[in-house]
């Protein structure tokens, strides 16, 4: 199967930035610039502006999502947010297992796995992140780390369910550092992830799941990353905060670089 059968996804992750007013200003500037592009556009926004951003994005190219959720359906869990609440507020997807959640909040693969299952049960598309630390790369452990993260975070998830997910490879050393993996390094790891998915769930699953690259993606490096065979999209943090730079990234096909 050729890779063009997978959707291309340009995803933004605002992290803990933007209040409601700032978010709506962004959408009013950004949404008109992506009406005609062929890629899908995802935007993971803070919980507090999810509902108003989702309402404003109705009828546009932008699918709005969240950056985290509880692994429980509901209950006495102070401060947590359920997947059904996100869905109700207009979310279509949820980022799970982002390296900032893994490293600052101690999220384990087992915990992420229960969130993935919960998201699927709640009708949200999981966007699962995996990626190695710099020490792991330097010690030649990258493939082992990715294999463990994928197999444990996706434990007991069926091939049919994985087909409906999105997976992002984000080397931790490239996130927010300005250091991007080279297109070749990124392609090598994407290919490894796709092969691992094929070995575990079969070729049809591996060929249909979109794999995004994340880590210091900018207007000046997006195009060469997107030219790699196994890179189906990007997950953008810092450069998704400005409507101008995120619009350039989403319109990467018309960039000169
Ligand atoms: P960055 O973040 O683009 O700022 O490196 C990427 C991410 O955390 O998803």
* Residue having the nearest C-alpha atom to atom 2 of ligand 1: 237
The owner of tokens 């997978």 is 6
pLDDT at 4 over 60: no
Residue range 190-195: mean pLDDT, rounded: 98
State the alpha helices, DSSP H only, in 37-141: 47-57, 83-89, 99-104, 109-121, 134-138
Tokens of 59: 């009828």
CB 127 within 8 A of CB 11: yes
Tens digit of pLDDT for each residue in 116-160? 999 999 999 999 999 999 999 999 999 999 999 999 999 999 999
The confidence score (pLDDT) of residue 257 equals 65
DSSP annotation of 248 reads H
Partners of 42 in the beta sheet? 11, 63
pLDDT band at 1 (very low <50, low <70, confident <90, very high): very low
Q: Can 190 be counted among the known catalytic residues?
A: no
* Residue having the nearest C-alpha atom to atom 6 of ligand 1: 237
pLDDT band at 15 (very low <50, low <70, confident <90, very high): very high
The confidence score (pLDDT) of residue 11 equals 98
CB count within 10 Å of CB 161 equals 16
Ligand 1 mean position to 216 CA, how many Å?
6
Pairing verdict, β 93-96 and 125-130: parallel
Residue 100 CA: which ligand 1 atom is closest?
8
Burial class (CB in 10 A: 0-12, 13-18, 19+), 28: exposed
Q: Can 170 be counted among the known catalytic residues?
A: yes
What's the pTM value of the predicted model, to 2 decimals?
0.96
* Percent of residues, the chain, with pLDDT higher than 90: 94
Around ligand 1, the residues with Cβ closer than 6 Å are 13, 170, 175-176, 214-217, 235-239
Residue 239 CA: which ligand 1 atom is closest?
3
Ligand 1 mean position to 1 CA, how many Å?
30
The confidence score (pLDDT) of residue 23 equals 98
Residues near 231 by Cβ (< 8 Å), separated by ≥ 6?
A: 183, 186, 187, 190, 211, 212, 213, 225
Ligand 1 mean position to 176 CA, how many Å?
5
Ligand 1 mean position to 169 CA, how many Å?
11
Q: 254: helix, coil or strand?
A: helix
Tens digit of pLDDT for each residue in 30-60? 999 999 999 999 999 999 999 999 999 999 9
């Amino acid at each position: 199967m050729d890779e063009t059968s997978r959707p291309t996804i340009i995803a933004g992750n605002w992290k803990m930035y933007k209040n409601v007013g700032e978010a709506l200003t962004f959408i009013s500037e950004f949404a008109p610039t992506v009406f005609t592009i062929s890629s899908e556009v995802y935007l993971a926004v803070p919980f507090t502006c999810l509902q108003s951003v989702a309402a404003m994005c109705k009828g546009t190219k932008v699918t709005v999502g969240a950056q985290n959720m509880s692994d429980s359906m509901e209950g006495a869990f102070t401060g947590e947010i359920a997947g059904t609440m996100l869905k109700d507020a207009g979310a279509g997807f949820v980022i799970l297992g982002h390296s900032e959640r893994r490293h600052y909040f101690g999220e384990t693969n087992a915990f992420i796995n229960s969130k993935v299952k919960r998201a699927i049960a709640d009708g949200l598309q999981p966007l699962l992140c995996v990626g190695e630390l710099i020490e792991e790369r330097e010690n030649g452990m990258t493939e082992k780390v990715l294999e463990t993260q994928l197999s444990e975070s996706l434990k007991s998830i069926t091939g049919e369910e994985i087909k409906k997910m999105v997976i992002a490879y984000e080397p931790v050393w490239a996130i927010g550092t300005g250091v991007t993996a080279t297109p070749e390094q990124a392609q090598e790891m994407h290919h490894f992830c796709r092969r691992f998915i094929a070995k575990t769930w079969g070729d049809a699953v591996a060929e249909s799941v979109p794999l995004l690259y994340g880590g210091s993606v900018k207007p000046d490096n997006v195009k060469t990353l997107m030219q790699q065979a196994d890179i189906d999209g990007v997950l953008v943090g810092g450069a998704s905060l400005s409507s101008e730079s995120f619009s350039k990234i989403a319109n990467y096909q018309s960039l000169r670089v």
